[in-house]
């Protein structure tokens, strides 16, 4: 989250900084290229004007040399040079190229009086000297530096053109000025960069501040503070976004309220249903008790002797009352399980072996009577289970009842219990294997569904409403266990019940002890039900 926010601000800042730097660099370039040219032009114009202006007075003074003496001339020339900062050298040359005077600063040299005058050999310069119009040209000095040379012919009257004044001007001053302004702009650029950084970060921060406010709002909703809203008054898309977000939060709150109400209604309905089942079972049980009681009294002769036929009829009635009672009890158990109340309040640590022993004892007479062999193997030193004993008893009661019911005479019912991991959780696996008719693979997946029976005719043969296995599943799932079945038609069925060790609220606590991996059976003939 934080990383993203910084990125957004940096991105905006980078854009702003880029724009400012480009404009600064461009202006610096313009300064260097165009300004440089312009400043040189100004210097050159002033050089031409200066040379033209001084050409006549200078040559006149030079002509009056005899009357004033060299000292006065020198002084005059020095004063002239002070009028222009850029002048480097002034020369007076005749049309043939003989140099008569050369002044560089205070150094004024007069040629002719004993000193052989130097002669100009440069053709271009000679042409300029002999011409009648003032000319100017850029030249390269002996030391390699650029210079500007102005040639001003002195024409006193028509035809009288003896001398020309040659002024040589340096660009040094101009360049120095330019260099210093270049430095100045570099300084401004650097300062501008710093300023740009600060401004862009601040600007970007201003833009992202609203995004931050929005983000904080989203975080609050995420934390479950649904009543909070985001207030942004920026007038831009972010405000629109915040408004949309607030609307969404309103919708969310409304939906949650609706869901809660619906849930409350469902809870009430569920409670009503449970109460109904409880009341119905009471209403059913009381008449059943009366029926059972009188029938039993009659059968045992407690109400006086009755005929053989009557006794047989009474026995049939009794058997059917028993069946009705069992079904009513199943219904009550199922309705109670749906509410998960009895499970949480009645957990106890139990020893699996003693529970299995107890149940099997109740079945032993029935199995022996039906000629069914029975084998029970419980892994020694198996850990205790924390379960609702009443319900777990019901699980094995139902499964064993099925196994015995469907195993023909001479068949075998096998019960095995061993420690076994299931989905990385430690627990115990109990197999209840019969050698009965088996269950077709297509039916296997549905046998744990409520009110389902494999074969409609079995309902008549074996009784029951198909609640037994669904009750088993409900109980095992309430204990965070799993139940499934494998079967081969004609060979028999095996029901698997896996229950976690210890408290079924805390899983995966290792308490040692041997364990085996759960073997995966071929998926076709296997139905898995897990919590």
Partner 1 sequence: MARVFVVDDEPDMVDLLATILRSDGFEVDTDTDGRSALARLLADPPDLVLLDLMMPDLDGMELLKLLRLDSKGANVPVLVVSARSGHQDQLGTLQLGANAYICKPFSPRELVRQVRQLLETSEAETNA
The residue ranges that bind partner 1 (CB under 8 A) are 278, 281-282, 285-294, 296-297, 300, 302-303, 321, 325, 329, 332, 336, 342, 345-346, 390
Nearest to partner 1 of 53, 288 (CB atom): 288
Q: How far is the CB of 281 from partner 1 (least distance, A)?
A: 6
Query: What phi and psi, each to the nearest 5 degrees, are found at residue 365?
Result: -60, -40
Nearest to partner 1 of 388, 494 (CB atom): 388
Q: How far is the CB of 301 from partner 1 (least distance, A)?
A: 10
Query: What phi and psi, each to the nearest 5 degrees, are found at residue 30?
Result: -60, -45
Nearest to partner 1 of 134, 274 (CB atom): 274
Q: How far is the CB of 461 from partner 1 (least distance, A)?
A: 25
Nearest to partner 1 of 263, 286 (CB atom): 286
Q: How far is CA 234 from the centre of its chain?
A: 26
Nearest to partner 1 of 268, 286 (CB atom): 286
The span from the CA of 391 to the CA of 476, in Å, is: 9
The span from the CA of 87 to the CA of 95, in Å, is: 22
The answer to whether 488 and 529 are in contact (CB under 8 A) is no
Nearest to partner 1 of 390, 423 (CB atom): 390
The span from the CA of 21 to the CA of 23, in Å, is: 5
Nearest to partner 1 of 333, 407 (CB atom): 333
Nearest to partner 1 of 177, 325 (CB atom): 325
**Angle between the N-to-C axes of helices 237-299 and 172-222, in degrees from 0 to 180, rounded to the nearest 10:** 20
For residue 388, what are the contacts with CB-CB under 8 A and spacing of at least 6? Answer: 342, 343, 346, 347, 348, 475, 479
The answer to whether 361 and 307 are in contact (CB under 8 A) is no
Strands of 185-243, DSSP E: none
Instruction: Render 22-35 in DSSP notation, one character per residue.
Output: HHHHHHHHHIIIII
Q: How far is the CB of 333 from partner 1 (least distance, A)?
A: 9
Q: How far is the CB of 229 from partner 1 (least distance, A)?
A: 47
Q: How far is the CB of 421 from partner 1 (least distance, A)?
A: 31
Q: Write the DSSP symbol of residue 219.
A: H
Q: How far is the CB of 324 from partner 1 (least distance, A)?
A: 9
Instruction: Report angle CA 67, 73, 78 to the nearest 5 degrees.
Output: 165
Q: Write the DSSP symbol of residue 179.
A: H
Q: How far is the CB of 323 from partner 1 (least distance, A)?
A: 12
Nearest to partner 1 of 105, 302 (CB atom): 302
The span from the CA of 245 to the CA of 218, in Å, is: 8
Q: How far is the CB of 222 from partner 1 (least distance, A)?
A: 41
- Mapping DSSP onto H, E and C, the string for 81-124 reads HHHCCCEEEEEEEECCCEEEEEEECCEEEECCCCCCCCECCCHH
């Amino acid at each position: 989250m934080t990383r993203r926010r910084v990125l957004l601000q940096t991105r905006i800042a980078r854009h702003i900084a880029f724009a400012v730097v480009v404009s600064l660099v461009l202006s610096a370039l313009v300064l260097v290229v165009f300004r440089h040219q312009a400043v040189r032009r100004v210097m050159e114009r002033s050089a031409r004007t200066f040379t033209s202006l001084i050409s006549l007075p200078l040559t006149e003074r030079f002509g009056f040399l005899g009357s004033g003496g060299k000292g006065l001339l020198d002084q005059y020339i020095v004063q002239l040079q002070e009028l222009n900062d850029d002048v480097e050298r002034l020369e007076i040359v005749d049309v043939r190229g003989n140099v008569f005077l050369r002044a560089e600063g205070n150094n004024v040299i007069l040629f002719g009086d004993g000193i052989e005058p130097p002669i100009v050999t440069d053709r271009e310069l000679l042409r300029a000297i002999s011409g009648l119009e003032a000319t100017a040209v850029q030249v390269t000095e002996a030391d390699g530096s650029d210079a500007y040379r102005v040639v001003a012919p002195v024409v006193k009257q028509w035809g009288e053109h003896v001398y020309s004044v040659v002024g040589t001007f340096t660009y040094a001053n101009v360049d120095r000025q330019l260099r210093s302004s270049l430095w100045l702009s570099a300084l401004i650029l650097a300062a501008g960069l710093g300023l740009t950084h600060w401004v862009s970060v601040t600007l970007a921060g201003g833009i992202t501040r609203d995004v931050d406010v929005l983000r904080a709002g989203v975080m609050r909703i995420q934390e479950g503070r649904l009543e909070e809203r985001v207030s942004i008054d920026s007038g831009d898309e972010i405000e629109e976004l915040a408004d949309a977000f607030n609307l969404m939060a309103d919708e969310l709150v409304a939906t949650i309220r609706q869901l809660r109400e619906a849930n409350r209604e469902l809870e009430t309905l569920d409670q009503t249903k449970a109460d109904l089942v409880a009341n119905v079972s009471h209403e059913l049980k009381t008449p059943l008790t009366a029926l059972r009681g009188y029938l039993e009294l009659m059968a045992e002769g407690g109400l006086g002797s009755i005929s053989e036929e009557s006794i047989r009829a009474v026995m049939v009635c009794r058997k059917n009352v028993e069946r009705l009672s069992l079904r009513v009890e199943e219904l009550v158990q199922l309705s109670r399980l749906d509410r998960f109340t009895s499970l949480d309040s009645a957990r106890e640590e139990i020893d699996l072996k003693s529970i299995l022993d107890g149940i099997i004892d109740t079945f032993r007479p029935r199995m022996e009577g039906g000629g069914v062999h029975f084998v029970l193997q419980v892994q020694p030193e198996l850990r205790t289970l924390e379960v609702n004993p009443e319900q777990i008893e019901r699980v094995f009661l139902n499964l064993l009842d099925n196994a015995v019911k469907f195993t023909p005479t001479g068949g075998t019912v096998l019960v095995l219990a061993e420690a076994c991991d299931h989905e990385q959780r430690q627990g115990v696996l109990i197999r209840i294997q019969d050698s009965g008719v088996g269950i077709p693979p297509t039916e296997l997946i549905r046998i744990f569904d409520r009110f389902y029976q494999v074969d409609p005719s079995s309902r008549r043969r074996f009784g029951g409403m198909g609640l037994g296995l669904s009750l088993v599943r409900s109980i095992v799932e309430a204990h965070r266990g799993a139940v499934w079945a494998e079967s081969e038609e004609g060979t028999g069925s095996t029901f698997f019940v896996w229950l976690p060790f210890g408290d079924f609220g805390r899983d995966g606590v290792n308490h040692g002890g041997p364990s085996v991996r759960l073997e995966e059976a071929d998926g076709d003939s296997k139905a898995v039900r897990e919590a």
